[in-house]
A and B are shown apart, each in its own frame.
Chain A
């Protein structure tokens, strides 16, 4: 039996907008198993990114709790807590410091968490870069000297640096061209298998979700619309909102068109 890696119990979060209070996430409960890839989908404003930030500890929930490996995380996370969850963002150009070399960006993570002996950190950075398919010499380069795909590989290497087993991927391939996207998705898949990683994969691209996720959670206006096995969500979505999302996805093949037509009929 696989154990529960991450659990959210009735998590809510509101924000003040002027005089009003806006509920960004409303009573979300979900369990993610060890080694699972859970996709969180929804339109902009559905609460995907707020949920990611709650898991990362950027915000503390107003209500409910977040548990990692069976232990409830405190509202203010310790360094050890933070080491357990890492993030890969959409735009590697803005998530990597342009004034640091790639190696220095990764090294910061090793230094902060005190991983390995200081003398061994340079070689550790080299291994990390090689693990994500880049030559170790890239450590000397600045992010500006890399392509979009290479930068995203660096961002992934940095997320792996402190050996956390849970990675939040927030639209990790949305700013990339399709061929580069396929390469990055392949890398993420291989790393998950090799390191036994758990992914929380946030995206609005349902075709990507279909190919990477074990389960899908659909959000609308901060609330959970439905959750289920990826194959089931795509073949017989229970909720009209989910059907609408899938039916609006651009498609290139006849079998996809057939699926979309079938779902559109369901919407009526």
Chain B
């Protein structure tokens, strides 16, 4: 039982369209160990969200995707599972938090109903009263002071920050082994985002949840993750402990990314005359590393 929570090996993915296939992932390998918080960092179009969705098993059933490589979740290959088995994992052993909480919560149901649905995924026989009690308990964990009002509200009656906390509570209520957080808090104001991420961080530490953190925001990654992978155009270009990569980025692309981030202590606006072809250079491997060739 020492298998890592998530082990992706040489994941390749392409979309078939009218004008031929578009290769999106060119062999991604990454590992999330137990209780580890790992970031996948990259810009738009780099393939980070597609990777996240593949982990949840959401890309495999699409007709236009061609996918190869292995995604092992707690030692079991998702590719060898039936769609129904993959579906059973979602919301129970693995869950996801999305960027925009308001559009990812169904607007026609009250929060209490949505909560019961989530709880019923791991415990189909759960009674309404039991579900409400569990929901109330977990809402207080995300610092929601009036759980009854929230449970009786529709998502659009709550603020963005409140919805994000509800999402976090729902994602963690079934005690998943893996939480995939896709740009959490990006749609929120900076102060609310800060509070929300601190709260999420505290909870995953308490619940010993492994996290795959998808983000383009390097400041957030620096604060909330142990290790990171940098993805550029469907390839991992750098990997290492978060602090080490921030202190001495090895790959030209990572260096450019870090130089481009404006700082509140003023670093000026960098010039980018460097040849972007450098960004396609082979990957840098930091020590210690957790994956295989």
Interface residues of B in 196-232 (CB under 8 A from A): 216-220, 222-223
Question: Chain B contacts of A227 at CB under 8 A?
Answer: none
Segment of A1-9, A113-121, A200-208 engaged in the interface with chain B? A200-208
Contacts A234-B264, A249-B219 given; indicate if A43 touches B257 (C-beta within 8 A).
no
Are B189 and A178 in contact (CB-based, < 8 A)? no
Shortest beta-carbon distance from A67 to chain B in Å: 31
Pair A207/B220 contact, Cβ less than 8 Å: no
- Quick one: which of B219, B259, B272 has the most chain A CB within 10 A? B219
Interface range for B: 20 to 34
Docked CA distance A232–B79 (Å):
57
Q: Does A260 count as interface, using CB distance less than 8 angstroms?
A: yes
Q: In whole angstroms, how far apart are the Cα atoms of A179 and B271 in the complex?
A: 10
Interface residues of A in 240-261 (CB under 8 A from B): 244-253, 255-256, 259-260
CA distance A189 to B268 in the complex (A): 11
**For residue A234, which residue of chain B has the nearest CB?**
B264
B264 touches A210 (CB 8 A): yes
Q: Tell me whether A204 and B190 are in contact (CB under 8 A).
A: yes
Contact flag A207-B217 (CB < 8 Å), given A177-B43, A179-B272 = no
Contact A210 B261 (CB under 8 A): no
Known pairs A183-B272, A206-B190; A249 contacts B264 (CB<8 A): yes
Q: Given A43-B190, A204-B189, A249-B219, are A182 and B260 neighbors across the interface (CB < 8 Å)? A: yes
State how many angstroms separate the Cβ of B190 from the closest Cβ of chain A: 5
* Complex contact B264–A207 (CB within 8 A): yes
How many contacts A-B (CB < 8 Å)? 108
Give chain A interface residues in 161-207, CB to chain B under 8 Å: 177-183, 185-186, 189, 204-207
CA distance A148 to B44 in the complex (A): 10
In the complex with contacts A177-B43, A179-B256, A251-B262 CB distance below 8 A: no
Q: A177-B216, A179-B260 are in contact. Are A253 and B265 (CB under 8 A)?
A: yes
**Contact residues in A for B193 (Cβ distance below 8 Å):** 248
Q: 1/0 contact trace for B180-204 toward A, CB 8 Å? A: 0000000001111111000000000
| Of the residues A204, A206, A231, A250, contact of B223 by C-beta under 8 Å | A250
CB of B129 closer than 8 Å to a CB of A = no
The answer to whether B272 and A182 touch across the interface, beta carbons within 8 angstroms, is yes
What residues on A are CB-neighbors of B220 within 8 Å? 250
Bound form: Cα–Cα A186–B268 in Å: 9
* Bound: A111/B260 CA distance, A: 38
Most buried by B among A205, A207, A252, A253: A252
Q: Which residues of B contact A211 (CB under 8 A)?
A: 262-263, 266-269
Q: Which residues of A contact B191 (CB under 8 A)?
A: 43, 244-245, 248
Query: Taking A43-B189, A178-B43, A178-B257 as contacts, is the C-beta distance between A260 and B264 under 8 angstroms?
Result: yes
- Whether a CB of chain B sits under 8 angstroms from the CB of A225 is no
**B194, closest chain A residue (CB):** A248
Query: Complex: how many Å from CA A182 to CA B269?
Result: 6
A30, CB-defined interface residue at 8 Å: no
- Provided the pairs A43-B191, A212-B269, A252-B218 are in contact, do residues A178 and B264 lie with their beta carbons within 8 angstroms? no
Query: Of residues 242 to 293 in B, which have CB atoms within 8 Å of A's CB atoms?
Result: 246, 256-272
Question: What is the CA–CA distance of A253 and B266 in the complex, to the nearest angstrom?
Answer: 11
A72 at the interface (CB under 8 A from B): no
A207 and B223 contacting across the interface, CB-CB below 8 Å: no
- Closest A residue to B45 by beta carbon equals A177
CB within 8 Å for A178 and B261 given contacts A186-B269, A211-B269, A250-B217: yes
Report the bound CA distance from A178 to B219 in whole Å.
12
- CA of A250 to CA of B195, assembled, Å: 12
Residues of chain A with a CB closer than 8 A to B261's CB? 178, 207, 252
- How close is A49's CB to chain B, nearest CB, in angstroms? 14
Contact B263 A210, beta carbon cutoff 8 Å: yes
Is there a chain B Cβ closer than 8 Å to A44's Cβ? yes
Contact of A178 among B223, B260, B268 (CB under 8 A): B260
B254: shortest Cβ distance to chain A, in Å? 11
CB <8 Å contact, A259 and B270: no
> A259: which B residues are within 8 A, CB to CB?
264-265
Known: A245-B190, A259-B264, A259-B265. Contact between A252 and B271, CB under 8 A? no
Chain B residues with Cβ below 8 Å from A186 are 269-272
Additional 11 contacts, C-beta under 8 A, given A212-B269, A252-B258: A44-B189, A177-B43, A182-B269, A182-B272, A185-B262, A211-B262, A211-B263, A211-B269, A234-B265, A251-B264, A252-B263
26 contacts between A and B (CB under 8 A): A43-B191, A178-B257, A179-B260, A182-B259, A183-B272, A185-B269, A186-B270, A189-B269, A207-B263, A211-B269, A231-B266, A234-B264, A234-B265, A244-B191, A245-B190, A245-B191, A250-B194, A250-B219, A250-B220, A250-B222, A251-B223, A252-B222, A252-B263, A256-B263, A256-B265, A259-B264
Q: What 8 pairs across the A-B complex have the smallest Cβ distances?
A: A250-B219, A177-B43, A248-B194, A207-B262, A178-B260, A182-B260, A43-B189, A248-B191
